[in-house]
Amino acid sequence: MALDLLPVVDSAPATCCTPRAEAAITAEDAVALARTLKALADPARLRLLSLIAAHEGGEACVCDLVGPIGLSQPTVSHHMKQLAEAGLVTREKRGVWAYFTIVPGAVSAVSDHLALHLGVATAGT
Amino acid sequence: MALDLLPVVDSAPATCCTPRAEAAITAEDAVALARTLKALADPARLRLLSLIAAHEGGEACVCDLVGPIGLSQPTVSHHMKQLAEAGLVTREKRGVWAYFTIVPGAVSAVSDHLALHLGVATAGT
DNA sequence: TCCTTGTATCGATGATTGTCGATGCCATGA
DNA sequence: TCATGGCATCGACAATCATCGATACAAGGA
């Protein structure tokens, strides 16, 4: 679930130089965006994502993550479920192992939505 | 506090074409980034930021926000304090009113850190 | 000086969350 | 068939959080 809640900026392709935000975010969009941000807003999950991104092949199984992050296996599994439900990672079971991969564009979609509704350019413009 | 916890990408100017993240995020950086993300990861605070960004002059006082967001005045004040402590807004008291402004570059700094550590380009690359 | 008004703080409460140990499930190999 | 090992789920617990009403504070005006 919650996989299609953050399409990569489907709205507001219109003007390019507005100094401020396009318009106030709707309550529903705020809930959806907050849900994804909440999945990111935890040190353990940020480190898990970073470990996966830095891992060989861009994928990692739970057993690759438990050691480096210093948390128990159930806790890591719990965090990975959170990330998967937020659409930030995908789970692929190969044999006994469950490999996780970062969903391309998911994080940048969050950045784009923030920039869109908060009137901030993505870089330091 | 926590104002200098997120300098705009001070690390990893080295190589430019690595397909994945530069390196795994450190535990301390993860805590700092998660703290800022946690300030963003709430529907009410996202809407407050968006209201300020969309408001005339890019600034708004508490009385401008209580009505549109449908929360009590103490709750709005509480959220604004969270945002201010995260370095996302600044508070300027003029007379009886407290005007809030979005800190330029604060949100984009978050995006940059995410892109840096999760190996994702800021756009759809 | 007193009253009004906009904000911030306090205390309380219900809900959510991060973490763990114990346990269950499933695929592989003997 | 049974044992092993990787992973997910369950139940519990402590901590954090979002929200509110009541109240305190501060600035301007009468």
The residue type found at A110 is V
Residue B24: pLDDT over 90: no
Give the per-residue pLDDT at B93. Answer: 94
Q: Which of residues 51-80 of B touch A (CB under 8 A)?
A: 51, 53-54, 58, 68
Cβ proximity of B53 and B102 under 8 Å: yes
* Rounded average pLDDT over A55-67: 94
The residue type found at B125 is T
CATH number of the domain where residue A82 is located: 1.10.10.10
A7 found inside a domain: no
- Distance between A110 CA and the closest CA of chain B, angstroms: 8
Give the per-residue pLDDT at B91. Answer: 97
Residue B123: pLDDT over 70: no
Containing structural domain, residue B50: 27-118
Q: What is the DSSP string of A11-78?
A: S--S-S--SS-SSPPPHHHHHHHHHHHHHH-SHHHHHHHHHHHHSGGGEEEHHHHHHHHT--HHHHHH
Number of Cβ within 10 Å of residue A93's Cβ equals: 9
* Cβ contact A40–B37 (<8 Å): yes
B18 found inside a domain: no
**pLDDT tens readout for residues B44-95:** 999 999 999 999 999 999 999 999 999 999 999 999 999 999 999 999 999 9
* Stronger pLDDT, A21 or B36, i.e. the higher one: B36
Query: Measuring from the CA of residue A91 to each C1', which nucleotide is nearest?
Result: D7
- Structural tokens at position B115: 């892109």
A6 found inside a domain: no
Straight-line distance from CA B64 to C1' D28, in Å?
Answer: 20
The residue type found at B72 is S
B78 found inside a domain: yes
Residue B122: pLDDT over 70: no
**pLDDT tens readout for residues A38-54:** 999 999 999 999 999 99
All protein residues with a CB under 7 A from any atom of strand D: A 61-63, 66, 73-74, 77-78, 80-81, 91, 96-98; B 38, 42-44, 71-72, 74-75, 78-79, 82, 95-96
* Cβ contact A107–B118 (<8 Å): yes
CA nearest A100: which of A83, A119, A118, A117?
A: A83
A84 found inside a domain: yes
Number of H helices, E strands in chain B: 5, 3
- Structural tokens at position A37: 């941000």
Cβ proximity of B114 and B120 under 8 Å: yes
B124 found inside a domain: no
* Residue B108 forms contact with A (CB below 8 Å): yes
Report residue A75: phi and psi, to 5°: -65, -45
* Stronger pLDDT, B118 or B80, i.e. the higher one: B80
Alpha helices in chain B (DSSP H): 27-40, 43-54, 62-69, 73-85, 106-118
Number of structural domains in chain A: 1
- Structural tokens at position B3: 């104002």
Residue B8: pLDDT over 50: no
Nucleotide D26's nearest residue (CA vs C1') is: B96
The partner residue sitting opposite B21, judged by closest CB among A50, A108, A124, is: A50
Give the per-residue pLDDT at B45. Answer: 98
Sign of CA dihedral A32, A85, A119, B74: positive
User: Strand pairing partners for B94?
Assistant: B97
% pLDDT > 90, chain B: 74
Report residue A26: phi and psi, to 5°: -75, 160
Nucleotide D22's nearest residue (CA vs C1') is: B74
Residues of B in contact with A110 (CB under 8 A): 111, 114
Specify whether the backbone of B21 is left (phi greater than 0), alpha (psi in -120 to 50) or beta. Answer: beta
A20 found inside a domain: no
Give the per-residue pLDDT at B121. Answer: 52
Burial degree of B28 (CB within 10 A; 0-12, 13-18, 19+): exposed
Give the per-residue pLDDT at B21. Answer: 60
A78 found inside a domain: yes
Cβ proximity of A88 and A102 under 8 Å: yes
Q: Which of residues 2-21 of B touch A (CB under 8 A)?
A: 8, 19-21
